[in-house]
């Protein structure tokens, strides 16, 4: 049985490799003379406008429109389109991102989405933005510490908003409906956008959306089907002012809100089956909200380009989860009888929690040339972030969920301030050879305003009085110099090779005092040694992006859970190494046909732990959520149908087995099994109208992405969305 599984797994890997290299070559040879070129992709990954082909960084860029058209509008739906990107989903669909097994930063139009450390401890607010209002989504792999600062050790996910256009009025309307396997209510979505030139210098772009994601998890205890149904709505507005050839101003505002009454996880327990959970109040209502406001000003002063990027970000959430299985039920009070339903013979425990975080960032850049040989970029950066968190423990009836009283209320606040100066110099030694040197000095200061306890449950946390008590928490400083060295050689405009040595780091995070955890984690550092190539062949009908890397990690920070204190905190997991290969390909072998694919291999292991570390049992084990093998193959074909144009497509993704997070106690970790997911779509275009029928996860695979002892509720498990079938109709004008 095991050998059969291994053979199937090896066959899947071979199939991806074949589709990535051999099949495209055969197809191209059969039809090399036809004109079906790959569109040129423009990116600003190095904070200047460049062809993707010329950037010495492994980058994947996907248009936002392609994600909307296939209804893959949540990052947990589309993250497998990016090599090296992993998503960790927890309660109320909170998101944490990792790239190549390391932390990944997120930006919107180069404004970092910063959260203070305690929000990371609470599960993270990684922004899961609907693609409406975006131009494209980009993933930069490898440390980006020189240009983007702390927390981009594994890479950077960039959301790029669409620019208003001054040349014409345009817009789009779209409506869709969908159904999910085991679902209760149908899903639906409405989207609209309009671009309005005010005059030749000013244009406004506005778009909005609303959608219902159907629920498919039932709670038989409460008699509620589809309890994880959710609603999300939002919008984006942009204004572009271009009064002279030298000056441009872009203002953007982004808003999104999600709400629901249950989580997307299954509960393992007596009498429960797939797509079921038994939380005593359905985990309760939740809400997540994100707002971003930014201003980008560019001014050309002779041969000098000056850029200012200002941003303000606000994120917040309200959650309620069942604390009964978290070991809190025995502390229930107020005369509530126990019941065998919970499996503990104890009263129930509801835990509502809320948090919000805001940050302001300012960056100034100066770009110029020194003669014909050197491109220069200098910059300065400032960021201040502040956030608050509160959590209440409510003793409740385990059958009805009715609240009898408050056991305790726990709250704390934190802030962080960062300053940085950076430089990037690109020396063009010859027409073909260039060397890029970069450096960044960053200073971080974390503030922690104390952990407060209020209520009759204070003795549970070691507080002798029931009065409001504030435990002092430490603050701390971090500083780090990150660097970049990248030689690059262009054999031709369509063939280049590069080597890259880059560093990154994440500042240390203070932990609440009196919680039985270290007062502050140490900063972790990363050095990446990488070689890569980018190739365009067959008159720009076949592109290849390949890279190999060796990464050294020291003092790795991980979100850990203290069983003793029943609290998430930030700790260090020693040192590790990661070795990997990534290969991406796109080919247009015939008119209307596109074949794109990628395959990634990663081997990451814990290599060194402090002698006193509680993580000693993990020596030699892989880093969390890092599959050894993963890959994707996508085929898209357009074909004429008289006055119509038809299209069809297939995308198959393989995600290898992954180890879950560290538990903080040395306990055994789970290994999530590998799975393969297939998506289909067909449709047609007629003038400005498009109709598309899609089936995502068409084989209805139960791909496990998180859950178990390392999560807040140890008997809960999160799976990919079941088979979803839908229809979308849109019109451009």
pLDDT in tens, 433-471: 999 999 999 998 887 777 788 888 787 777 888 888 887
Rg (CA), the chain: 26
Between 382 and 336, the more confident residue is 382
Query: What pLDDT does residue 225 have?
Result: 92
Report, as an integer, the average pLDDT of 721-728. Answer: 95
Tokens of 379: 């910059």
Scan for tokens 């690059």, then name that residue. 488
Tokens of 271: 């009498």
CA distances from 519 to 424, 473, 522, 588 (A): 36, 8, 10, 56
3-state SS class at 16 = helix
pTM of the model: 0.86
Residue 552's H or E segment, with its range, is strand 542-554
Q: Is residue 444 within 8 Å of 476, Cβ to Cβ? A: no
Scan for tokens 């190549």, then name that residue. 100
Tokens of 306: 């000056």
Predicted confidence (pLDDT) at residue 18 exceeds the cutoff of 70? no
Tokens of 322: 């069942």
Residue 91 CA to residue 285 CA, distance in Å, equals 12
Give the least confident one: 174-188, 382-396, 637-651: 382-396
Q: Grade residue 180 by pLDDT with cuts at 50, 70 and 90.
A: very high
Query: What pLDDT does residue 616 have?
Result: 59
Highest mean pLDDT among 297-301, 467-471, 555-559, 713-717: 297-301
Query: Among residues 83, 124, 77, which one has the least CA distance to residue 105?
Result: 124
Predicted confidence (pLDDT) at residue 208 exceeds the cutoff of 90? yes
Average pLDDT over the chain reads 83
* Residue range 44-94, pLDDT digits in tens: 888 888 889 999 999 999 888 888 887 788 887 888 889 988 877 766 556
Scan for tokens 């099949």, then name that residue. 23
Residue 589 CA to residue 597 CA, distance in Å, equals 14
Report, as an integer, the average pLDDT of 222-235. Answer: 91
Residue 155 CA to residue 53 CA, distance in Å, equals 19
Residue 31 CA to residue 596 CA, distance in Å, equals 17
Report, as an integer, the average pLDDT of 680-685. Answer: 96
3-state SS class at 654 = strand
- Tell the burial category of 404 from Cβ atoms under 10 Å away from its Cβ (0-12, 13-18, 19+): middle
- Residue 157's DSSP bridge partners are 106, 139
Query: What pLDDT does residue 333 have?
Result: 46
Which DSSP string corresponds to 51-106? EGGG-SS-EEEEEHHHHHHTT--SHHHHGGGSTTEEEEE-GGG-EEEEETTEEEEE
Query: What pLDDT does residue 200 have?
Result: 85
Task: Check the CA dihedral 63-68-71-74 and report its sign.
Answer: positive
Beta strands (DSSP E) in 242-301 are 247-260, 265-267, 286-301
Tokens of 623: 């880093």
Between 326 and 722, the more confident residue is 722
Tokens of 82: 């990016």
Distance in Å from the first CA to the final CA of the chain:
57
Residue 702 CA to residue 723 CA, distance in Å, equals 10
Domain ranges of the chain: 2-732
Q: Grade residue 27 by pLDDT with cuts at 50, 70 and 90.
A: very low
Q: Is 455 left (phi over 0), alpha (psi -120 to 50) or beta?
A: left
Indicate the DSSP class of residue 39. Answer: P
Predicted confidence (pLDDT) at residue 177 exceeds the cutoff of 90? yes
Tokens of 588: 């247009």
Beta strands (DSSP E) in 214-285 are 230-241, 247-260, 265-267
How many Cβ atoms are within 10 Å of 308's Cβ, its own excluded?
14
Between 1 and 531, the more confident residue is 531
Query: What pLDDT does residue 7 have?
Result: 41
Residue 148's H or E segment, with its range, is helix 145-148
- Residue 532's DSSP bridge partners are 498, 547
- Tell the burial category of 660 from Cβ atoms under 10 Å away from its Cβ (0-12, 13-18, 19+): buried
Query: Among residues 706, 723, 677, 724, which one has the least CA distance to residue 265?
Result: 706
Tell me the three-class secondary structure of 584-601, residue by residue. EEEEEEECCEEEEEEEEE
Query: Among residues 105, 91, 205, which one has the least CA distance to residue 155?
Result: 105
Q: Grade residue 586 by pLDDT with cuts at 50, 70 and 90.
A: very high
Give the phi and the psi of residue 529 in degrees, each rounded to 5: -110, 120
Give the least confident one: 11-15, 140-144, 250-254, 296-300: 11-15
Query: What pLDDT does residue 279 have?
Result: 79
Residue 11's H or E segment, with its range, is helix 2-17
Residue 331 CA to residue 209 CA, distance in Å, equals 44
Q: Grade residue 626 by pLDDT with cuts at 50, 70 and 90.
A: confident
Query: What pLDDT does residue 11 have?
Result: 46
Query: What pLDDT does residue 398 have?
Result: 62
Structurally, what CATH architecture does the domain formed by 2-732 represent? Beta Barrel (2.40)
Predicted confidence (pLDDT) at residue 667 exceeds the cutoff of 70? no
Give the least confident one: 116-120, 178-182, 406-410, 573-577: 116-120
- Tell the burial category of 22 from Cβ atoms under 10 Å away from its Cβ (0-12, 13-18, 19+): exposed
Predicted confidence (pLDDT) at residue 198 exceeds the cutoff of 80? yes
3-state SS class at 539 = coil
Query: What pLDDT does residue 420 have?
Result: 96
Tokens of 96: 């944490």
* Residue range 29-42, pLDDT digits in tens: 444 344 578 888 88
Query: What pLDDT does residue 700 have?
Result: 97
Residue 60 CA to residue 74 CA, distance in Å, equals 18
Between β-strands 155-161 and 102-108, what pairing exists: parallel, antiparallel or unpaired? parallel
* Residue range 349-366, pLDDT digits in tens: 778 888 888 889 999 999
Task: Check the CA dihedral 607-613-614-616 and report its sign.
Answer: positive
Predicted confidence (pLDDT) at residue 123 exceeds the cutoff of 50? no
Residue 317 CA to residue 391 CA, distance in Å, equals 12
């Amino acid at each position: 049985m095991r050998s059969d599984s291994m053979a199937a797994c090896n066959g899947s890997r071979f199939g991806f490799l074949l589709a990535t290299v051999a099949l495209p070559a055969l197809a191209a040879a059969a039809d090399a003379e036809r004109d079906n070129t790959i569109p040129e992709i423009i990116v600003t990954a190095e904070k200047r406008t460049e062809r993707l082909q010329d950037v010495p960084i492994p980058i994947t860029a996907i248009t936002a429109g392609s994600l909307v058209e296939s209804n893959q509008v949540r990052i947990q739906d589309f993250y497998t389109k990016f090599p090296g990107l992993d998503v960790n989903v927890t309660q109320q669909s909170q998101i944490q991102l990792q790239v190549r097994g390391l932390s990944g930063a997120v930006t919107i139009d180069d404004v970092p989405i910063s959260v203070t450390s305690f929000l990371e401890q609470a599960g993270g607010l990684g922004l899961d933005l609907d693609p409406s209002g975006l131009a494209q989504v980009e993933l930069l792999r490898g440390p980006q510490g020189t240009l983007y600062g702390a927390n981009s050790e594994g890479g950077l996910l960039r959301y790029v908003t669409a620019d208003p256009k001054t040349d014409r009025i345009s817009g789009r309307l779209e409506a869709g409906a969908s159904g999910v396997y085991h679902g209760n209510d149908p899903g639906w979505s409405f989207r609209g956008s309009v671009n309005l030139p005010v005059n030749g210098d000013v244009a406004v772009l506005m778009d909005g959306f609303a959608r219902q994601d159907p629920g498919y998890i039932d709670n038989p205890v409460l008699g509620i089907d589809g309890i994880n149904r959710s609603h999300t709505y939002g919008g984006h507005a942009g204004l572009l002012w271009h009064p002279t050839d030298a000056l441009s101003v872009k203002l953007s505002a982004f808003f999104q809100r999600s709400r629901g009454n249950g989580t997307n996880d299954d509960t393992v327990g007596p009498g429960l089956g797939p797509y079921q959970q038994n939380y005593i109040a359905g985990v309760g209502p939740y809400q997540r909200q994100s707002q971003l406001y930014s201003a980008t000003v560019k001014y050309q002063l002779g041969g000098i380009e000056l850029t200012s990027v200002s941003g303000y970000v606000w994120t917040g959430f309200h959650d309620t989860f069942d604390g009964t299985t978290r070991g809190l039920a025995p502390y229930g009070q107020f005369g509530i009888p126990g019941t065998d339903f919970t499996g503990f013979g104890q009263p129930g425990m509801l835990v509502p929690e809320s948090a919000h975080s805001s940050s302001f960032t300012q960056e100034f850049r100066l770009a110029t040339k020194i003669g014909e040989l050197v491109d220069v970029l200098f910059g300065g950066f400032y960021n201040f972030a502040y956030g608050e968190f509160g959590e209440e423990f409510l003793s409740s009836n385990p059958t009805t969920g009715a609240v009898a009283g408050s056991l305790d209320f726990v709250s704390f606040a934190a802030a962080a301030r960062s300053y940085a100066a950076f430089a990037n110099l690109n020396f063009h030694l010859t027409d073909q050879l260039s060397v890029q040197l970069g450096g960044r000095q960053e200073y971080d200061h974390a503030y922690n305003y104390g952990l407060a306890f209020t209520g009759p449950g204070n003795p549970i946390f070691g507080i002798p009085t029931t009065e409001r008590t504030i435990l002092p928490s430490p603050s701390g400083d971090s500083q780090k110099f990150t660097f970049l060295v990248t030689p690059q050689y262009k054999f031709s405009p369509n063939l280049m090779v590069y080597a890259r040595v880059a560093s990154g780091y994440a500042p240390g995070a203070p932990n609440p005092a009196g919680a039985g955890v270290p007062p502050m984690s140490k900063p972790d550092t990363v050095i990446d040694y990488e070689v890569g190539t980018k190739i365009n062949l067959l008159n720009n009908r076949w592109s290849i992006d390949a890279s190999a890397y060796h990464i050294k990690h020291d003092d790795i920070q991980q979100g850990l859970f203290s069983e003793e204190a029943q609290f998430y905190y930030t700790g260090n997991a020693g040192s590790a190494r990661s070795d990997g290969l990534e290969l991406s390909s796109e080919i247009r072998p015939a008119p209307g046909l596109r074949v794109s694919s990628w395959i990634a291999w990663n081997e990451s292991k814990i290599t060194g732990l402090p002698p006193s570390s509680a993580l000693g049992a993990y020596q030699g084990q892989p880093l969390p959520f890092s599959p050894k093998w993963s890959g994707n193959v996508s085929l898209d074909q357009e074909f004429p149908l008289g006055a119509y144009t038809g299209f069809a497509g297939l995308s198959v993704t393989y995600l290898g087995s992954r180890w879950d997070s560290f538990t903080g106690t040395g306990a055994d970790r789970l290994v999530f099994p590998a799975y393969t997911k297939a998506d289909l779509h067909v449709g047609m275009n007629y003038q400005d109208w498009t109709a598309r029928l899609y089936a995502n996860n068409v084989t209805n695979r139960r791909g496990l992405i998180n859950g178990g002892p390392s999560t807040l509720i140890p008997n809960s498990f999160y799976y990919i969305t079941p088979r979803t079938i839908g229809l979308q109709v849109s019109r451009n004008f």
